Amino acid sequence: MEIVKNNLELTRTASKIERDVKNQAIQELRRMREEKGWTISELSCVTGFPNDTFDRIEIGRKSISLFVICMLAHVYGKSVRIVFE
pLDDT by residue for the chain (85 residues), tens only, comes to: 677 667 778 788 888 888 888 888 889 889 999 999 999 999 999 999 998 999 999 888 888 888 898 899 899 998 888 777 7
Residue-level pLDDT at 11? 82
Q: How far does CA 40 lie from the centroid of its chain?
A: 15
